[in-house]
Amino acid sequence: MIGAHLPIGKGIWTIQKQMDILKIETCAIFLKNQRRFDFSHIEEKSVSKFKEEVKNPFTIVPHASYLINLANPKMQDQSYNCLIDDMKRCNLLGIGFYNIHPGSDTSKLGNKRALEMIAENLNKAIKEVPNVVVLLENMAGQGNVCGRTFEELKSIIDLIDDQSRIGVTLDTCHMFAGGYDIRSPELFEKIMLDFDRIIGMKYLKAVHLNDSKNEFNSRKDRHESIGKGQIGIEAFRYIMNSKFFEDIPMVLETPEPKNYAKEIEILRGLIQD
């Protein structure tokens, strides 16, 4: 189930036409301006048009604003209000998933307390907004960012009261930059078995397909086009043929949207009989 991150500047309902042009089954979007905390509530006409146009909203994986930081007490109200608005938009639109960067320990709380704070905010949000499954994205681990390791993601999941409302998005660039060597099928297979052992495959709900500009274990989040970065094409061949990724929405977030069609063709060309 291949997709790409699509713009909504001409209306959130336009994503179906964009998906049809690219011949894809899923996509990622920002639900509103991702660089501002201020927002207006979604209009009813936008919701109606979306429901009329979009064929399968449950496979769409919106991305949270980059400003949201659930591990920073100084941004608690702003982050939480932005999170709740996004989740309410998902619920209104019939979208089942919502992807979020866990947070960054910018206030130097310590890793354990930062992870607890993320879980506390998510527990409150899950109680406030029904239906939407929040997906924790694994991170490259630069600076004080939380969620680099499978163990850290599992620590958050363990603290969630309703674990049917939590999941994981695996980003290939973040995995590689964060110290998970996925450059060969054998290495990737071992890592996925570790993921299953530590977190559990039932929590894997989405994938971000990105090569990496930076070298292995760089802790730098710099996306590159498929097969043109430090990860290389074999990792994506593994993904396209592994049972671990069957029926999982997989979204391109590569740096050149004009190349999405070509990259989708490359990915589909990796599928073996």
Query: What string of H, E and C letters represents the secondary structure of 211-248?
Result: EECCCCCCCCCCEECCCCCCCCHHHHHHHHHCHHHCCC
Residue 240 neighbours by CB distance under 10 Å: 18
Backbone angles phi, psi at 171, to 5 degrees: -105, 125
- In the residue annotation, 221 being an active-site residue is answered as yes
Query: Among residues 35, 246, 247, 273, which one is catalytic?
Result: 35
Query: Among residues 89, 148, 165, 174, which one is catalytic?
Result: 174
Query: Among residues 85, 86, 105, 137, which one is catalytic?
Result: 137
Query: Among residues 66, 128, 162, 215, which one is catalytic?
Result: 66
In this structure, are strands 204-209 and 97-100 parallel, antiparallel, or unpaired?
unpaired
- In the residue annotation, 189 being an active-site residue is answered as no
- In the residue annotation, 174 being an active-site residue is answered as yes
Give the DSSP per-residue string, 23-59: T-SEEE-BSS-TT-S--PPPPHHHHHHHHHH-S-GGG
Query: Among residues 85, 211, 221, 263, which one is catalytic?
Result: 221
Any bridge partners for residue 207, and if so which?
170, 250
- In the residue annotation, 181 being an active-site residue is answered as no
- In the residue annotation, 194 being an active-site residue is answered as no
Which residue's entry shows tokens 């949000």? 125
Query: Among residues 89, 101, 165, 237, which one is catalytic?
Result: 101
Query: Among residues 5, 148, 223, 237, which one is catalytic?
Result: 223
- In the residue annotation, 5 being an active-site residue is answered as no
- In the residue annotation, 41 being an active-site residue is answered as no
Q: What's the rounded Cα separation, in Å, for the pair 122 and 117?
A: 9
- In the residue annotation, 105 being an active-site residue is answered as no
Query: Among residues 208, 237, 238, 260, which one is catalytic?
Result: 208
- In the residue annotation, 66 being an active-site residue is answered as yes
Any bridge partners for residue 250, and if so which?
2, 207
- List active site positions: 35, 63, 66, 101, 137, 171, 174, 208, 221, 223, 253
